[in-house]
Amino acid sequence: MSNEQRVTPERSADEKRAFKRDLTEVVPHLRAFARGLCGRPDMADDLVQETLLKAWAAQDRFEPGTSMRAWTFVILRNAYLTDMRRNRFRGEYDETAAERILTAPAAQEEPIHLSDMHRALLTLPPERREALLLVGAGGFSYEEAAQICGCAVGTIKSRVGRARAALTVMIEEGSIPERSIDDPAAHRAILQELDDVASGKGISIATK
Amino acid sequence: MSAARPHRTGIPPLVRTNKEFAVGRYEWEPDVPAFVPNKRNNAEADAHLQQGSVSRQLQGRNVELVEASIMAGADGTGKPVKGKKQHTRKQGPEWASGLKQLYDSVIEEPIPDAFKDLLARLDDGKR
């Protein structure tokens, strides 16, 4: 692992300003990704703040010209997994906030209730949820998502496909859990998530 | 056997034109154009294969169409949802747009002051 450490020159003031500007621009994206991952707006924002601090501290490892969004997403993801290991986030569902923020516009034809969508999303296994968030919502390519998650492109495609199928079944059949914590399906998903983290799966390196 | 078709011993040579060189056609066959792949299907396949690069080009700025396509099933897995094909095509884009809307609703929120304060402190050079 020590081979991955590289000696980079200290960033100049201009470079730091540019880094900080790029970092500021990705904050909304980080918040959206974190909200999708852990479900709670307050905890998601804590996660983003933690990510910003870590990114700033590790700015020498960021390669200018590469995607700041992808780089910071890796940091956020790893921070999320670490916090999951500490049982800090449990994919809780804040119904009040979701109702306020996520309800579809009334004029939309056959509107899907976005709080249902959010609950369904939170019951997905974490690796599928993050793949769907990255590709289906974040606009990352499969290749970029694979880099962020530290896995093969085919694995990401498979995860997105399975997540899509699972959500379709849940929404079609109305089998969306009422509460992600209390519902057995959601509870199983959370336990699986913790098992995955405990086994060391999915930690990727935020170097690119 | 068709009366119009000549006897086996009298099979004429292949007639090939410049346009149909690779196809080959017997004289008695109807004068039909050479097989042309379905362009619409080709376009769909190209979009399927290239959607990753398209998505990358968009850089997350306006990806609803791409994401709707991905969520509708063009995700590169080549595995349709068993037994739910018709419903999937109908439901996929609907919830896919919901997912994007859910994500975008957070992006469009104003950044809380806590983040501005934190970024300002980073500006002070604290590492």
If 0-12 CB within 10 Å is exposed, 13-18 middle and 19+ buried, where does residue A42 land? Answer: exposed
B115 neighbors A48 (Cβ within 8 angstroms): yes
Note the pLDDT of residue B63.
40
Both A52 and A119 in one domain: the answer is: no
Note the pLDDT of residue A176.
67
Structural domain containing residue A194:
111-198
Both A67 and A122 in one domain: the answer is: no
Chain B hits for A53, CB-CB cut-off 8 Å, are 118
- When pLDDT is cut at 50, 70 and 90, the band that residue A9 belongs to is low
Both A123 and A73 in one domain: the answer is: no
Task: Say whether A161 and B75 touch across the interface (CB within 8 A).
Answer: yes
Each domain of chain B, given as residue ranges in start order, spans 10-127
The DSSP 8-state label assigned to residue B56 in this structure reads: H
pLDDT tens column, A40-62? 888 899 999 999 999 999 999 99
Q: Is the pLDDT of residue B10 over 70?
A: no
Q: Which of A160-164, B13-17, B73-77 has the highest mean pLDDT?
A: A160-164
With respect to residue A183, please indicate whether it lies within any of the assigned structural domains.
yes
- Report yes or no: A103 at the B interface, CB cutoff 8 Å: no
Task: Say whether A161 and B55 touch across the interface (CB within 8 A).
Answer: no
Q: Please state the domain count of chain A.
A: 2
With respect to residue A53, please indicate whether it lies within any of the assigned structural domains.
yes
Which of A32, A121, A142 minimises the CB distance to B107?
A: A32
Which is higher by pLDDT, A26 or A92?
Answer: A26
Min Cα distance B37 → chain A (Å) is: 27
- When pLDDT is cut at 50, 70 and 90, the band that residue A109 belongs to is very low
> CATH no. for residue A26?
1.10.1740.10
Task: Say whether B98 and A114 touch across the interface (CB within 8 A).
Answer: yes
Note the pLDDT of residue B66.
42
With respect to residue A98, please indicate whether it lies within any of the assigned structural domains.
no
Cα gap A162→A131, rounded to integer Å: 10
Average pLDDT over every residue of A26-33: 96
Chain A hits for B50, CB-CB cut-off 8 Å, are none
> CATH no. for residue A194?
1.10.10.10
- Percentage of chain A lying above the pLDDT 90 cut: 41
- When pLDDT is cut at 50, 70 and 90, the band that residue A15 belongs to is confident
Q: Please state the three-class secondary structure of A121-149 as a single string.
A: HHHCCHHHHHHHHHHHHCCCCHHHHHHHH
Interface test with B, best of A10, A47, A164 (most B CBs within 10 A): A164
| Closest-approach residue (CA) in chain B for A121 | B99
Q: Is the pLDDT of residue A89 over 70?
A: no
Which is higher by pLDDT, B119 or B75?
Answer: B119
With respect to residue A62, please indicate whether it lies within any of the assigned structural domains.
yes
If 0-12 CB within 10 Å is exposed, 13-18 middle and 19+ buried, where does residue A170 land? Answer: buried
pLDDT tens column, B54-71? 333 444 444 444 444 444
Chain B hits for A174, CB-CB cut-off 8 Å, are none
Cα gap B102→B13, rounded to integer Å: 66
Both A118 and A194 in one domain: the answer is: yes
Cβ density class A90-120: b for 16+ within 10 Å, e for less? bbbbbeebbeebbebeeeeeeebbbbbbbbb
Which is higher by pLDDT, A78 or A203?
Answer: A78
The DSSP 8-state label assigned to residue B109 in this structure reads: S
Both A155 and A194 in one domain: the answer is: yes
Chain A hits for B87, CB-CB cut-off 8 Å, are 168, 172
The residue out of A68, A85, A102 marking a domain boundary is A85
Cα gap B38→A5, rounded to integer Å: 52
Cα gap A128→A201, rounded to integer Å: 13
